[in-house]
Structure 1
Amino acid sequence: MNDASIAPPEHSGSTTPAAHGAPSNPATVPKLPVNWRVLIAAGTAIVALSAWAILAPAQADAVIAGVVAWVASRLGWFYILTATLVIVFVVMVAASRGGKVRMGPDHARPQFNIFTWTAMLFAAGIGVDLMFFSVSEPVSQYFAPPSGDGQNMEAARQAVVWTLFHYGITGWAMYALMGMAFGYFAYRFGMPLSIRSALYPLLGRRIHGAAGDAVDTAALLGTVFGVATSLGIGVVQLNYGLKTLFGVPENLAVQSALIAVGVGMAVVSCVSGVDKGIRRLSELNIILAIGLMLYVLVAGRTAFLLDAIVMNIGDFVSRFPGMTLNTFAFEAPQEWMSTWTLFFWAWWIAWAPFVGLFLARISRGRTLRQFVVGTMTVPFAFILLWISIFGNSALDIVVGGNTEFGDVAMNTPERAFYSLLEQYPGATVAAAIATFTGLLFYVTSADSGALVMSNFTSRIEDPNQDGPKWLRVFWAVTTGVLTLAMLLVGGVTTLQNATLIMGLPFSVVMYLIMVGLWRALRVEVSTAESGAVASRSAVAGRTGRDTHWRSRLSRLGAYPGPRAAQRYVKDVAAPALETLAAEIRESGVAVTVETVPVEENPALQQTSLHVDLAPERDFLYRIHPVAFPTPGFGGFRTNPDSDRYYRLEVFTATGSLGYDVLGYTSEQLINDALDCYERHLEFIRLNHEHPGSTQIGLPTAETGVWAEGAPTKEDAP
């Protein structure tokens, strides 16, 4: 539905490459194991369906149409209810105390500044299908609204609002849900960047078995049909664009050639690793799209369009609640529902894993509240402007008496966008830009779609890794074959129908994801209630207990170097934790203390105390050296010749608590560790009604996010 290049960002923002298992030397990158059960199950279903559609198109068309009719008449309410509940859920998460939780460790901060982040959210919000529907749907809703008579002022007023409804907040709420699930479990708990990870609070370790495979298969089937639908729409629209520019005929042969070209370019991108180039082309697309929008705004009736934008905003806000839950129970426009609302909801559901993965990739370090607000407002703001300008421009032409244009927009929607551009001066140049823009969006959709599907069929432990290249090629080709098969059966309509059917299984998965995420966030909130995250001011005050004030003042003005940090770990911190561990072992609990070199700087060491509390969340207290730039003030610097100084910060399993213990006495350090341990036990007690619920795949002292590596300066508080 909306284009999003899923290539890893240039700056991943991870703690270190090793912190997530990504080798620093490309030559040592391990081969990723393929999840053969998911690949075989989904691949077989798709290949079989494609073969059936190609060999018996009439039968396939009839069966698909029959199933769609049954879904629309019997399960339309389910799609409507699901879409509404997703909106309510993500808003509740953002407004709750869980909204303060970060998509990453406690100390993580956004890897991208607000301008770059919103720009990438903006990039995810436009695709070739938006060009397709921004003209054709308003005209179609004007002539054939779901209720009431068409071709009047009320129908014209509702037409753009219905289009905004189908392309607006509801879909982005689905993207926000999946993005939260991906980012929260992957970046906060070091779990695989996979849908099954979100079900850990419900299924536990069973996510690694058949249950997790079933979830990934459902997501994969929905994604491949969602991507195929966008590619099919792009192909037929590009075919007409080439006809307008060069006289190329509109037929299946040309569309097949376009599919082959698009798949070929996607394969080259996947194999040669030119994802950065594709991403730059996506940015170029946005510039061109904005240019097209401003061109129509200026060349058309500018004052009318600005008035219409303001009116559309008011109508959308006032009518949205009723539209969201409107099942048309008395009017029962079954065909309209399956063609529009149900199709769009299924399409958004199918694309949710795809775009959600991209959104998670660019949002590490942000709070869930920031993520939801940004995802549901920034892209929609652009979509609102785009649809209002193009949709109202088209309606203005139709209401003005140009019935021929209206007939084209409604009955041959792939021609609608170009037909609108023909109404303005410089139409040929505008059509060329539109064709180029659509082609690039088509290619980047195919490329990133293949990348995501290869991830779904691989066993990837590192959130920053992607599936093997040969698997990306397989999915690029498979998606192209499926697109061709559906076009053979009945064109874009059949693709829409297939998407509506395939979105149904994953809609059930979305309910499971909401329950799993809510349970995990309830545990997060209980950590705050138990005081698991210490008050920094209170902890800072602890350094003064039984300490002379001159010592405290000297410590505040010190900027110690690596030798001082290393000496403290060896002489004070490690022995203190060993002393505490010996006492805890007396109660029969398994405790380990480990002092190991820091991977990115072997000259430094970190020391950790790990208490095994299975089946609940283990306790981890780690003292880890974190480098900071030495400030240009302070007369008490102990490391005046270096531009870096070190803090020994306390880390728990979810990240840094943000305070420095370098300079604590052995007794103070033991008391601090005991305070953290006491709060951790209280946190487990508060969750006693659900045994085992505190363990959400969190890392242990040996294998977790903080087992190796230190936070980067971007992660530093």
Structure 2
Amino acid sequence: MNKVTRVFYISAVVAILFIIWGIIPKDVLPNGNLDHVTTIIQTFLVDKFGWFYLLSMTGFVVFALYLIFSKYGNIKLGRPGDKPEYSYITWFAMLFSAGMGIGLVFWGAAEPISHFHEPPYGEPGTAETAKTAMQYSLFHWGLHPWAVYATLALALAYFKFRKQAPGVISAVLQPIFGDRVKGPLGTVIDIIVVFATVFGVATSLGFGAIQISGGLSFVFGFDQTIILQFVIIILVTILYLISAMTGLNKGIKYLSNANIILAIALMLFMLFAGPTKFIMNLFTNSFGAYIQNLPEMSFRMTPFNPENGWAKQWTFFYWAWWIAWAPFVGTFIARVSRGRTIREFVSGVLLVPTIFGALWFSVLGGSALNFEFFKGVNISHFINDIGEEVALFAVLDHFPLGTFISAIAILLICTFFITSADSATFVLGMQTTGGSLYPPNVVKLVWGLIQSGAAAILLWQGGLQALQTASIIVAFPFAIIMILVVFSLIKSFKEEARQYELKRKKT
């Protein structure tokens, strides 16, 4: 099924209009420019509905953990004889590369150092604050994001491969809305999905462009300008479009495997060339503190200290970002997960990346904290003067072969950039061709250009702040859709269990 649907035409036109709106100079529309309007909307959502993001994300974690231990765990995502299409290693590499590759490299060293100097509570720069910094870094990149991905990916894989429904998110809601999802209601749902994907991925592409330019500036002396970032976006866009045209089993598969090899190599180098004992002690301590304090962190608000904007700046942004990424990552993970049981699927998607992410932050963030706390190296100085994008390179500068390893890190960011973007063009192609597993190249080309254009415009309008604003806005309506997806899944599982019992009694 390669039919281009009206979702494609409507969402493509609106996205292009959005890009045109972003190009209009601020002095032409002083109160109606893109940056001004989106900032107002974002401020309203965070002030009034921060609790909604918090409760929703925690609900997805509870639901995902329930599925692992529930009686539905043995249901296969496909027909009874279906076997998994990819090995465990390739499967983990693909979902990990799509799931959060650029973000891990960007924030691996920057986030713990940022929390160390501006903690959610406590005195900055103390040993206790260093523990809190690691604990919250693991919290933001642990079970919560992967629970969102697992929930949506499971729904899409279940309905696509077991129920033979179209591979679009509106089809997942048929148990709740019936055939209305085939009309205007379904079109609206799928358009929201497309926009969440475009701007969720644009945020990551923006982070990637900022960090590549930051690395080129810090390591090789390039002038870090918006022009350099635009050039990077153009070059990487050409590369990921070439990759996207080669299909899922060539470009994306090979690059995903290359990503995971490069990432593990970088992490192992930093682990063994750096303070190994300190890092492993920190990993053990931080992971234990994360598990112990997970319930408290999951519900933490500051009702008696409303001026504390830490949660708005960090937790609410991350929760919105993960929700905005869910349609993209969920669709992609679903596509590569046929043949696995629900228990196997949810356990793999939830636990393996969470543990790997904890080790990653312990190595990169732990190295940065070790330099600051024990050796007097002021990594935060570079963050304050230049930005979060240079934190990793400031850390690598104090390692053996620092320049060479920094070049490898820039290459890793580029490959993550390419895999995230070409996976997104594939997903957008699926969502706008009625769920086709093999969307036409011309459709992928259009979406590739649009998401790069959106990333460039958001960067031009306000850098990191504009990227974060876009994520928080588009995540709000999709969070409501995600909650409906949970209820739809539960209803479908109950119906399947009832049918199974009826069949068993007849035999």
Identify whether the pair has TM-score above 0.5, normalized to the shorter chain. yes
- Tell me which residue corresponds to 1:51: 20
- Tell me which residue corresponds to 1:435: 410
Q: Structure 1 vs Structure 2: percent identity of aligned residues?
A: 34
C-alpha deviation, 1:242, in angstroms = 2.1
Higher helix share: 2
CA distance in 1, matches of 2:248, 2:224: 31
Residues 19-418 of structure 1 aligned to structure 2 (within 5 Å): 32-36=2-6, 38-57=7-26, 59-273=33-247, 276-333=250-307, 335-400=309-374, 402=376, 404-409=378-383, 412-418=387-393
Specify whether residues 271 and 288 from structure 1 end up closer, same or farther in structure 2 by C-alpha distance, changes over 3 A only. Answer: closer
CA distance in 2, matches of 1:109, 1:478: 36
What per-residue deviation string (whole Å, max 9, x for no partner) do you get for residues 57-113 of structure 1? Answer: 464323322222211110000000100111111222232212221111234343445
CA distance in 2, matches of 1:440, 1:255: 16
Specify whether residues 274 and 354 from structure 1 end up closer, same or farther in structure 2 by C-alpha distance, changes over 3 A only. Answer: closer
Contact kept, 8 Å, 2:97 with 2:419, in 1: the verdict is no
C-alpha deviation, 1:119, in angstroms = 4.8
What per-residue deviation string (whole Å, max 9, x for no partner) do you get for residues 126-176 of structure 1? Answer: 512211111111111111112222211211110011111111100000010
C-alpha deviation, 1:350, in angstroms = 1.1
Contact kept, 8 Å, 2:68 with 2:346, in 1: the verdict is yes
C-alpha deviation, 1:359, in angstroms = 1.8
1:470 equivalent among 438, 442, 447: 442
Which letter does structure 1 place at the counterpart of 2:490?
W
CA distance in 2, matches of 1:396, 1:273: 43
What per-residue deviation string (whole Å, max 9, x for no partner) do you get for residues 409-435 of structure 1? Answer: 356101111111001110011011111
Which letter does structure 2 place at the counterpart of 1:453?
L
CA distance in 1, matches of 2:147, 2:221: 42
- Listed as ranges, the gaps of 5+ residues in structure 1 are 1-29, 535-674, 677-717
What per-residue deviation string (whole Å, max 9, x for no partner) do you get for residues 294-346 of structure 1? Answer: 11111211111111111011101111111011122222355322221111111
- Whether 1:508 aligns to 2:477 is no
SS of the equivalent of 2:224 reads coil
Residues 671-710 of structure 1 aligned to structure 2 (within 5 Å): 675=506
Specify whether residues 44 and 335 from structure 1 end up closer, same or farther in structure 2 by C-alpha distance, changes over 3 A only. Answer: farther
Contact kept, 8 Å, 1:228 with 1:482, in 2: the verdict is yes
Specify whether residues 221 and 130 from structure 1 end up closer, same or farther in structure 2 by C-alpha distance, changes over 3 A only. Answer: same
CA distance in 2, matches of 1:502, 1:289: 30
Which letter does structure 2 place at the counterpart of 1:73?
D
Specify whether residues 125 and 468 from structure 1 end up closer, same or farther in structure 2 by C-alpha distance, changes over 3 A only. Answer: closer
CA RMSD of aligned residues (A): 2.0
C-alpha deviation, 1:267, in angstroms = 2.4
CA distance in 1, matches of 2:88, 2:286: 28
C-alpha deviation, 1:378, in angstroms = 0.9
Higher strand share: 1
What per-residue deviation string (whole Å, max 9, x for no partner) do you get for residues 258-281 of structure 1? Answer: 111122222223345486134212
- Whether 1:458 aligns to 2:430 is no
Q: In terms of mean alpha carbon deviation, does 330-339 or 155-164 score higher?
A: 330-339
CA distance in 1, matches of 2:455, 2:283: 35
Contact kept, 8 Å, 1:73 with 1:334, in 2: the verdict is no
Specify whether residues 334 and 489 from structure 1 end up closer, same or farther in structure 2 by C-alpha distance, changes over 3 A only. Answer: farther
Specify whether residues 196 and 42 from structure 1 end up closer, same or farther in structure 2 by C-alpha distance, changes over 3 A only. Answer: same
SS of the equivalent of 1:192 reads coil
CA distance in 2, matches of 1:340, 1:119: 27
Specify whether residues 332 and 254 from structure 1 end up closer, same or farther in structure 2 by C-alpha distance, changes over 3 A only. Answer: same
Which protein, 1 or 2, shows the higher relative CO under an 8 Å CA cutoff with sep ≥ 6? 2
- Tell me which residue corresponds to 2:454: 482
- Tell me which residue corresponds to 2:401: 426
Q: Which has the greater radius of gyration?
A: 1
Aligned residues: 501
Specify whether residues 112 and 469 from structure 1 end up closer, same or farther in structure 2 by C-alpha distance, changes over 3 A only. Answer: closer
Contact kept, 8 Å, 2:94 with 2:256, in 1: the verdict is no
- Tell me which residue corresponds to 2:464: 492
Specify whether residues 272 and 320 from structure 1 end up closer, same or farther in structure 2 by C-alpha distance, changes over 3 A only. Answer: closer
- Listed as ranges, the gaps of 5+ residues in structure 2 are none
CA distance in 1, matches of 2:46, 2:308: 6
What per-residue deviation string (whole Å, max 9, x for no partner) do you get for residues 243-296 of structure 1? Answer: 344432210111111111122222223345486134212211211111111111
CA distance in 2, matches of 1:346, 1:304: 33
CA distance in 1, matches of 2:110, 2:220: 23
CA distance in 2, matches of 1:470, 1:260: 18
CA distance in 2, matches of 1:509, 1:189: 20
SS of the equivalent of 2:309 reads helix
C-alpha deviation, 1:120, in angstroms = 4.3
Which letter does structure 1 place at the counterpart of 2:390?
R
SS of the equivalent of 1:458 reads coil
CA distance in 1, matches of 2:106, 2:267: 14
Which letter does structure 1 place at the counterpart of 2:80?
D
Q: In terms of mean alpha carbon deviation, does 397-406 or 361-370 score higher?
A: 397-406
